[in-house]
Amino acid sequence: MPGGVDAVIAVQPGTSSDSLPVVKDSGSLITISGDAVASERGVHVGAIHYQAEIRNELVHLMTDIAAGELRVGLERAYPFEQALAAPAKVQTRRARGKPVLRLD
């Protein structure tokens, strides 16, 4: 869009600074990613802070797994030295379960 867009919402961490150049002068950048970014060219920079409380959900999930009521499929256990291979496999969209990092 010539001159930039009126507003951007940065969701993914690390994307606020990359998003700033596409906002037109005096536009708005709102981050919910937690990134800190300085305003420039009159662009209004705002942030929405949130913190999800998921403790109860995690306890329930772990209880179901421990009771055998829920099975978690594992793609592969990667040695820590090959940690970058785990997300690479997920990005292929061909993973058949969750990758796990093994700390020997």
CA separation, residue 71 to residues 17, 57, 63, 64, 85 (Å):
40, 16, 11, 9, 23
Q: Identify whether residues 40 and 60 lie together within a single domain.
A: no
Question: Is the domain of 39 the same as that of 16?
Answer: yes
**Looking at the structure, do residues 59 and 98 belong to the same domain, yes or no?**
yes
Contacts of 81 (CB under 8 A, 6+ apart): none
The per-residue pLDDT for range 11-42, each reduced to its tens digit, is 878 888 888 888 989 889 888 877 888 888 99
Has residue 81 got a pLDDT over 70?
yes
DSSP label at residue 42: T
Averaged over 80-90, what is the pLDDT?
86
The pLDDT of residue 13: 81
pLDDT of residue 1: 56
Both 61 and 98 in one domain: the answer is yes
Query: Residue 20 sits in which domain range?
Result: 5-47
Residue 57 has pLDDT above 60, yes or no: yes
- pLDDT value for 32: 84
Strands (E), the chain: 5-10, 23-31, 44-47, 74-79, 98-102
How confident is the prediction for the chain on average, in pLDDT?
A: 84
